[in-house]
Amino acid sequence: MSDKDVSVMSVIGFGIVSAVLYTLLYIYSGDLEKASQLVQQGEKIYFLIPIAIAFVFSYFHGTFTDRFWSMLGLKAKK
């Protein structure tokens, strides 16, 4: 398998994970809204949910977008 194949495979892999994460976000959007209301009512532990989500999404979606542009040949000036 060439480097190019590996790169395309990883773009597809991270892209699928990213798509799954966004689907879950949409499915559970009502629960996420409720979690914020619970935090306001004193269940402070739920404040960690948005922070954890931000990190997980940025890792998978960030890696996906980075490799996506590299695969298309958009690179910085050397």
Partner 1 sequence: MEVLQAINFIDLTWVNVTSLIVVGFIAGMVSGFIGSGGAFVLTPAMMSFGAPGIVAVASNMAHKFPKALVAAIKRNRYGQVDVKLGLIMGIFAEAGVLIGKNFMTDIRQDFGDVGTDLYVSAVFVVVLAIVGGFVMRDAMRGKKTDAENKGVEQKHEAGKIAKWVQSVHIPGTMMYFKSIDAKVSVLFIAPLGFATGLLAASIAVGGFIGVPAMIYILGVPAVMATATELVVAFVMGMGGSMLYAFDGFVDIRLAMLILGGSLFGVQIGAIGTTYVKEYVVKYVMGSIMLIVLVSRLIKLPVYLDQMDWIAPLSAGLTSTLNVVSFTTLILALVVGALSILIALIKGIAEHKQQHAKFVDVGASD
Q: Interface mask (CB under 8 A) for partner 1, residues 26-55, using x and -?
A: x--x--xx--xxxxx---x--xxxxx-xxx
> Which of 1/30 has CB closer to partner 1?
30
Contacts for 64 with CB less than 8 Å, ≥ 6 apart: 11, 14, 15, 17, 18
Number of other CB atoms surrounding residue 23 within 10 Å: 10
Residues that bind partner 1 (CB under 8 A): 22, 25-26, 29, 32-33, 36-40, 44, 47-51, 53-55, 57-59, 61-62, 65-66, 68-69, 74-77
